Structure 1
Amino acid sequence: MNILVLGGTRFFGRKLVENLLEEQHDVTIVTRGMSENPFGKNVTHIKVDRKDVASFKEALANKQFDVVYDNICYSPNEAKQLCEIFNGSIKKLVFTSTLSTYEANGTAHAEEDFNPYDYEICMGDTQEFTYGEGKRLAEAVFYKEAKFPVVAVRFPIVMGEDDYTRRLHFHVERILNDEPIGFANMDAEMSFIQATEAAKFLAWVGMNDVEGPINATANGIISLRDLISLIEDKTNKRAKIALLGTDEIRSPYAIPTSWYMKNDKATSLGFTFSNLQDWLPGLVEAISKVSVK
């Protein structure tokens, strides 16, 4: 297939491109040129900033793709722009969405808990919305205005050794350095997915007959208390826990109540997810080894 990837040079986006190349697809990546192209001549590389609307449209005008992966759309304006460029010229869009489309209310969320087809659209740029609201509005624009099939893949927090957000690293490093971590609710439970599995899932939905919103998460959940206990076990250090505290010490996982999702839809369509407890201890151990100062 002829495939375009927006956001394909780091973390799970990079792993997605690697998967697509292994399957011998023709891959084009779009970047601002700020990051190194790790694939060399194995991909077609278009350098353009999507926020430069005119240049972005010019760079992609009249190009035909079987599948477009958009890992870096965060606003309704960006979603509308993509529809205007590609309506009539692509066969499918895979949009990377998020657990943040759902309210953190202590329940296990299924896809129907947020319906983008009926969501009222308010146009605007990324800085005008929270992360979750920007993704909700982007989904709404795609499902109302796209003239091509759309899959909105809703991921929880993606984990990996090469995670540039370093959210899990934050906890490991602060425990190793005897620095406090602030939480709102240690008993809150979360779901996660590993970067390699996120990339595998994106490739899978692109190549299969899948449409609409779809959750993608590893099987199983873990409380923040148990996550900290796991890190303590792997680092042989005791965590210093504070009640929220300043922005500097506040955990990126400092949620007030449990926040996780079901993966029943994807499982019923044939994707087999890993079990969180099978890989999380190894990941924590690997991060702890490289984090020791």
Structure 2
Amino acid sequence: MKKILILGGTRFFGKRLAELLLEEGHQVTIATRGNTADGFGDRVGRIQLDRENKESLAKAVEGGREWDTVFDNICYSPQAAQDACDVFQGKVKRYILTSTLSVYDPSSRLHQEKDVNPYIYPVSMGGRSDFSYGEAKRLAEAVLFQNADFPVAAVRFPIVLGEDDYTGRLEFHIDHVKQGRPIGIPNLQAKMCFISSSEAASFLSWMKNQRVEGPINARSKGEVKLSELMGWIEKETGKKAIISKQVSDKDKSPFGVPDSWLMDTNKAERLGYQFQPLQAWLPALIRQLAAK
């Protein structure tokens, strides 16, 4: 049994991760603002904190607490990463940061982890609002890998999808097609990669038992053109999508990238992880959401 702390474990793949760890028999503590009910009852410990406030983080983990693994799903700035380096010094055996495909710029190439090297990336300090999402994550990785005295891995996920996705990114497209509203997609030929919320949780759980450090890409096997994705939605809704390059901001697709956005998962696969094929779950998820 491991003592595990999840920073952000009350919804989406963080909640799924907590459930998996509990099923494996681990002692799980979840740390959040306390604004979202988690449904775990007395099966988990709870810490209430403001992740962007170092004093709050330090107070929450004081008292000689130590963890075998810390999963950090809510680190969005270099300052938050530095706070973790300071607060968790000598208190954790392994630290796993949830990072993102957004550390890479969209392009036709298949990005490898070495394309953004956090061990040498120049550090600029600041909070969440001081940087774009992708830059903030690049800097958070850089701070942790360059300054932490504990082993760190950064899992770079693409867009995570599932029926429990509170952001509603896939539903945006389904609802727009159902309602006959235009969708702003600049490049229908762009290819995208995704991962399901259940596999994101499974991969994170698997990572706690690996000795690997550094960044690691994780996504479902295969990719899909946005034109093909919209075709799946058209099939399940029975309606034709209205695609336009000129729309209002509220109608711009969350998947509206100018070029393909893909990454290589050879590193994870060499370690023995077998990713689920994209075709095995995404069309079924679209069908499920379209039926609502």
- TM-score range normalised by the length of the shorter chain: over 0.9
8 Å contact from structure 2 (residues 51, 75) kept in 1: no
Shift of 1:273: 0.3
Task: Detail structure 1 runs of 4+ shifted over 6 Å in the superposition.
Answer: none
Aligned twin of 2:61 = 60
Q: Which runs of 5+ in 1 are unaligned?
A: none
8 Å contact from structure 2 (residues 217, 264) kept in 1: yes
Matched, 1:193 2:199: no
Aligned twin of 1:2 = 3
8 Å contact from structure 1 (residues 244, 254) kept in 2: no
1:81 corresponds to which of 80, 83, 94: 83
Shift of 1:51: 2.4
**SS of 2:195's equivalent?**
strand
**Counterpart AA for 1:243:** K
2:161 corresponds to which of 159, 162, 174: 159
How many residue pairs get aligned? The number is: 290
**SS of 1:116's equivalent?**
coil
Shift of 1:177: 1.0
8 Å contact from structure 2 (residues 49, 56) kept in 1: yes
Shift of 1:106: 1.5
Shift of 1:37: 2.6
**Counterpart AA for 2:206:** W
Aligned twin of 1:269 = 271
Return the alpha-carbon distance in structure 2 between the equivalents of residues 52 and 142 of structure 1.
17
Residues 227-253 of structure 1 deviation map (CA, whole Å, 9 limit, x = unaligned): 001100111111011114111110001
Residues 176-218 of structure 1 deviation map (CA, whole Å, 9 limit, x = unaligned): 1111101110100000000000000000001222211000000
Shift of 1:53: 2.3
Matched, 1:41 2:42: yes
TM-score, normalised by the number of residues in structure 1:
0.97
Aligned twin of 1:14 = 15
Shift of 1:59: 1.3
1:239 corresponds to which of 218, 238, 241: 241
1:283 corresponds to which of 279, 282, 285: 285
TM-score, normalised by the number of residues in structure 2:
0.98
Aligned twin of 2:132 = 130
Aligned twin of 1:51 = 52
Q: State percent identity of aligned pairs.
A: 48
8 Å contact from structure 1 (residues 67, 91) kept in 2: yes
Aligned twin of 1:177 = 179
**SS of 1:273's equivalent?**
coil
